[in-house]
Structure 1
Amino acid sequence: MHLADSLATLMLTPAAGTPMFRQLYEGIKQSVLSGKISPGAQLPPTRELARQLGISRQTVLNAYEHLMAEGYLSGTVGKGTFISRTLPLPARPPKAGNPRALRPLSARGECFVGPQAALNTHEGAPKAFRIGMPGLDLFPFDVWARLEARRWRHPPHELGYSDPIGYLPLREALAGYLGASRGVHCDPGQILITAGSQQALFLIATLLLAPGDAAWIEDPGYRGISASLRAAQAHVCPVPVDGEGISVSSGRTSWPEAKLAYVTPSHQLPLGTTMSLTRRLDLLAWAKENKAWIVEDDYDSEYRYTGPPLASLQSLDQTGSVIYVGTLSKVLFPGLRLGYMVLPPALVDAFVQARAIMDRHAAIVPQIVLADFITEGHFGRHIKRTREAYAERRIALLDAIGTHLAGHLVAGAADAGLQLSATFIRRRDDEALVRRAREKGIESRALSGFYLDRDNARLSGLVLGFAPISVEDIRRAAPALRDVLDE
């Protein structure tokens, strides 16, 4: 096909909102960039192309003029117009669907991709039995809107670039809350505000571990920490969990040289167990002996339904080994993207500087509003209200398991948190069952998916959330889940 014939096939739409000369300009430009028109090719005279396309010569002149100004064309209009020979175009276009064909990721970049680095997201409105979500129906959005509107009426001076460590009144409010509710020993200068706990975990893995350093993780456990550790090119070491929490003796035997241990002592994810005092002291002793770090992820400790509140692991630390990580996603809502770290004093300066390099600081207006939300008492009232509602929803789910699912599942520890795990009485392919349930409009997570090596998972079952759905929806969905399990 000659060049003139090729250009004659360009699709121009007079009725479109884009001017005709702009459409022609884009058509020729894309033909050049895609390699359909080669450098050095002569374009047809403006009158000839105008006749072929059924447009005015002025339209063609305008398109050529724009292409000439941007360097796509050379020559003189009227004396011959050519595609510039100096354009750095590829000899052949890359294969479609392969954006990495020209520039492969670095070895470090490869650690960020693939199924083992993937994190789960939520789609659509909450439905039974979504995990990792609070009840949005219980959040006082009217109060939040009023607090935010009040601030916008008198814009705060902090709307410029602010301190990367976080908004001081918020850090002061969190320090007071954590000391009273979790026994955390800290002052506001040790608290770093992050974009959720996931950013905190990424900073920890990046700053404290060199490539190849060993790090213990709970197995089964939170997939987000293994993704962060892989991104930091650390050696991920799965340590089994039993009824007392992470098995420190197994970790000592298999990876005594580890530099870091990640744990969820107040409410193990996903099994729901609480780390015993003996195990906590053993873990702290190991960290002291080996000059290792402990990351305490206290992701939903606000919600405990039986027994007194538990003190944090950090409150037992005498050597500055524990980094306490918290999130507001489970108490307020995940879209807020606010979390925090309580850092040992020796780490504060380095982490604050790294936080600034990463993204300057967390969004300041949500921090300001949250500080008001806490100091004016709304935060405490919200926790009390949601704890009561979640306790009712938890009982409804336990009743539903006992009534409708007893032939299939046995509920695990359920005295805290926003979800519970239930193991199959007879081992089954939990991933396949989760997919089948999703087709019926029921959400859950496969218990085996929380193991680092799913194919060799010790347990199979379902992790079922109760916090974001009503008692009625729980009771309605349980028979539907039973039907899926009966198939």
Structure 2
Amino acid sequence: MTRRGARLSPVRRRQRSAGTLQAQLYDRIRQAILSGALASGARLPSARAMALEAGVSRGTVDAAYARLSVEGFLVARGAAGTFVTTPLPIAAAFAPAAPPEPPRKEPRARAALRPFQIGVPAVDAFPVATWSRLLGRHARRARAGDLAGSDPCGDRALREAIAAHLAVSRGVVARAEQVMITGGYHGALGLLARALARPGDGAWFEEPGYHRARAALELAGLRLAAVPVDAEGLDVARGAALAPRARFAFVTPSHQMPLGMALSLPRRLALLAWARGADAWVIEDDYDGEFQRASAPLPALKSLDDQGRVIYAGTFSKSMFPALRLGFLVVPDGARDALARVASLLHPAPLLAVQRAAADFLGEGHFARHVRRMRALYAERHGALSRALEELSSPQLQVEEGTGGLHLIARLTGARDGEVVERASQLGLAPGALSSFYRSDPAEGRLDGLLLGFAALPASRAQKAVHRLAQAIAPSPPPRHHPLARTISVDVNGSGGRSARLRNPNRA
């Protein structure tokens, strides 16, 4: 079968310069093979099906197939069908590159709401009307002075609103001058790397840890030490042994990404003591600290920092919506000038109207009400997914219970998570592979498992999504009517000569 996107359009009969119909069909199939649209080993449609697809006679298809077989592009395998040769002829290596295939157009919202996708909150439950009203209010109120520029560290109103919110919800006491607005968490990482780091600086990074942040930091030239985590979170003693003079420690203490445990109080105190002695910065990524199911949200690590060593990084991607691209840093006085200087050059803060709308969303109580509703909704969706997974009773899947966050972890037995994720993607699902969060090799303790996001999965769809996931974990064997299940060609003497056919004993 041709790969999706490689369908041949009907051959045009009126183009005299294009040659005969047979030549046109031959050339199209040959170019599809050389460009990779028809991959090595791909099965072509039958002559009858190809004739209907290309709008020519079956004799024309037979002649084109025969010519391509003689030239080594195709191989006929009797009743099994006609296949692209494996490996391809040497001519393929010298063929000119085909223009890239244009991406298929799909609604963005549909792609963002695939079942089990991690990092996506319940955007279907976000108060869009309220947000649009606030955004429109500030777009209409723009003054001439606003058009000239804005504070590169962020609008004062939003910084004050964030400082007030953090004092109540996360135990972080900070002045508005210590809050800096960024373009999401990755914008914060870029600002930190440019202002405080030098290429070659050492940094602790959790193992496993958020792979996109790891890649961004390595791109900035930092040397990352993979510090393992256990039931108490980051192993501070191990980090001190691996990189005692590291410049940074990047941690997710309230809800470790991806495993979900919280950094224990003794480890928190040990981390702060190490940072003080090493003159290092601790970057606290509080990516979804608002969402704890078993208890009230844990206080931030920053709330224990009395020496100004912790830089707190937050984002509204999980609590509001990812496309907002709105984040912030709470910086100690010792780092503020360096960060402000880089911000004045890069201007990382989003549009002024967006910042002021976010300030009103916080200040008028809409944010607190939204988070309260989301906690109840996520409890419902978490429960629905947990029940569906329990009913599945798959021996290959062991679900781990967590205390917070927006995803579940399911350990895999007898299957590689990368392969399962690939098959799940073909079924319209989007789980994450736990192994992708590890930097180490499998032999060094990497675990296979699935990250199953539930925030964007309505409870009514959980059972159906789990059934499809089961198909990805243990795919069904080929149907009995499949051509390869009816007839198998076997090379009897191993020399590529005479062959025998074994008929499927299940068929009459």
Which of 386, 397, 400 is residue 409 of structure 1 equivalent to?
397
Matching residue of 2:134: 147
Contact 1:129 1:444 in 2 (8 A): yes
SS at match of 1:294: strand
Instruction: Please report how far the alpha carbon of residue 207 of structure 1 lies from its aligned counterpart in structure 2 after TM superposition.
Output: 2.4
Change (3 A) 1:289 1:471: same
1:233 aligns with 2:218: no
Which of 441, 444, 447 is residue 428 of structure 2 equivalent to?
441
* Whole-angstrom CA distance in 2 between matches of 1:445 and 1:123: 18
Matching residue of 2:292: 304
* Whole-angstrom CA distance in 2 between matches of 1:254 and 1:445: 29
1:343 aligns with 2:344: no
TM-score (norm: length of structure 1): 0.73
Code of the aligned partner of 1:154: R
Matching residue of 1:453: 440
Contact 1:295 1:322 in 2 (8 A): yes
Matching residue of 1:190: 178
Change (3 A) 1:205 1:341: same
1:428 aligns with 2:428: no
Which of 358, 364, 367 is residue 352 of structure 2 equivalent to?
364
Q: Count residues in correspondence.
A: 370
* Whole-angstrom CA distance in 2 between matches of 1:97 and 1:294: 49
1:480 aligns with 2:459: no
1:318 aligns with 2:301: no
Q: Any unmatched runs of 5+ in structure 1?
A: 1-94, 99-120
Code of the aligned partner of 2:255: H
Per-residue CA deviation, residues 9-31 of structure 1 (Å, 9 max, x unaligned), is xxxxxxxxxxxxxxxxxxxxxxx
Code of the aligned partner of 1:475: Q
* Whole-angstrom CA distance in 1 between matches of 2:183 and 2:386: 34
Per-residue CA deviation, residues 351-405 of structure 1 (Å, 9 max, x unaligned), is 1221222236421111011111111111111111111101111111222222215
Contact 1:271 1:412 in 2 (8 A): no
* Whole-angstrom CA distance in 2 between matches of 1:130 and 1:459: 20
1:161 aligns with 2:149: yes
Name whichever of 413-422 and 282-291 sits farther off: 413-422
SS at match of 2:450: strand
Contact 2:207 2:227 in 1 (8 A): yes
1:124 aligns with 2:107: no
Matching residue of 1:334: 322
Name whichever of 349-358 and 121-130 sits farther off: 121-130
Code of the aligned partner of 1:403: E
Instruction: Please report how far the alpha carbon of residue 183 of structure 1 lies from its aligned counterpart in structure 2 after TM superposition.
Output: 0.4
SS at match of 1:340: strand
Q: Any unmatched runs of 5+ in structure 2?
A: 1-95, 100-107, 476-508
SS at match of 2:463: helix
Map of 1:6-405 to 2, 5 A cutoff? Answer: 124-156=111-143, 157-359=145-347, 361-405=349-393
Contact 2:251 2:282 in 1 (8 A): yes
Contact 2:417 2:433 in 1 (8 A): yes
* Whole-angstrom CA distance in 1 between matches of 2:439 and 2:194: 20
* Whole-angstrom CA distance in 2 between matches of 1:427 and 1:368: 52
* Whole-angstrom CA distance in 1 between matches of 2:441 and 2:432: 13
Contact 1:270 1:420 in 2 (8 A): no
* Whole-angstrom CA distance in 1 between matches of 2:212 and 2:281: 18
Code of the aligned partner of 2:274: W
* Whole-angstrom CA distance in 2 between matches of 1:215 and 1:97: 43
Change (3 A) 1:206 1:231: farther
* Whole-angstrom CA distance in 2 between matches of 1:291 and 1:133: 36
Contact 1:304 1:416 in 2 (8 A): yes
Name whichever of 455-464 and 248-257 sits farther off: 455-464
Instruction: Please report how far the alpha carbon of residue 209 of structure 1 lies from its aligned counterpart in structure 2 after TM superposition.
Output: 2.2
Instruction: Please report how far the alpha carbon of residue 149 of structure 1 lies from its aligned counterpart in structure 2 after TM superposition.
Output: 2.2
Contact 1:288 1:321 in 2 (8 A): yes
* Whole-angstrom CA distance in 1 between matches of 2:429 and 2:285: 28
Per-residue CA deviation, residues 294-328 of structure 1 (Å, 9 max, x unaligned), is 00000001111112221100011111110000001
Per-residue CA deviation, residues 41-89 of structure 1 (Å, 9 max, x unaligned), is xxxxxxxxxxxxxxxxxxxxxxxxxxxxxxxxxxxxxxxxxxxxxxxxx
Contact 1:271 1:413 in 2 (8 A): no
